[in-house]
Amino acid sequence: MALSDYERQMLEELEAQLADEDPTFAKTMEPEPVSVRRHEFSLRHLVIGLVVAAAGIGVLVAGVAANLVVVGVAGVAVMFAGFWYVGTGIGEVSVESVGIAKGTGEGGARSFMDRQTEKWNRRQGGD
C-alpha cells in the first residue's frame, strides 16, 4: 500500500529532523557501496598442480612398494607441492558494486522515502 502525500511529507520531515539533530547517525544510515569478492581460478595452475600431485602419489606408491621410507616421504612432499601450486592459482578479485544511487537526475539529494518508494515499486513489479 502506497503512502499518502501527508504521510510521505511527515516522514521526510522526520528524516530531515534526524539529520539535523544527529548527523553522525543519519550518515551511518545512508547506504554504502558493497564490496564483493570473487574467486578466480587459474586453469594453468590447476592442471600443472594436479599433474605434479598425481606424480607425487605415484612416487609415494613406489616408495611404499619398494619399502623405502625416503622415497615415500619424497612422494608426500611432491604431492603437497602440487596442491600448493594449485592453491597459488586461486586469487580473489574485489568487485565494487554500486549500491542505491544517490541523488536525482537534477543533482538534488534523494530522501530516504524516495529510496524506500523505489524499492517498494520494484517489489510490486511497477516502474
Per-residue pLDDT tens listing for the chain (127 residues): 677 888 888 888 888 888 888 888 877 777 666 667 777 888 999 999 999 999 999 999 999 999 999 999 999 999 999 999 999 988 777 665 544 444 444 444 567 777 888 888 888 875 5
pLDDT of 62 reads 95
Which secondary-structure segment (H or E) carries 95?
Answer: strand 90-97
Instruction: Compute the half-sphere exposure of residue 109: CA atoms within 13 Å on the CB side of its CA.
Output: 7
Would residue 94 count as lying in a domain?
yes
Counted domains in the chain: 1
Which secondary-structure segment (H or E) carries 26?
Answer: helix 23-28
Would residue 21 count as lying in a domain?
no
Would residue 52 count as lying in a domain?
yes
| Torsion sign (Cα): 26, 29, 35, 37 | positive
Would residue 122 count as lying in a domain?
no
SS3 state at 110 = coil
Q: Which domain holds residue 46?
A: 34-99
pLDDT of 58 reads 96
Would residue 63 count as lying in a domain?
yes
Would residue 95 count as lying in a domain?
yes
Task: Confirm if 6 and 61 have CB atoms less than 8 A apart.
Answer: no
Would residue 58 count as lying in a domain?
yes
pLDDT of 65 reads 94
Phi, psi (degrees; rounded to nearest 5) at 65: -65, -35
Would residue 48 count as lying in a domain?
yes
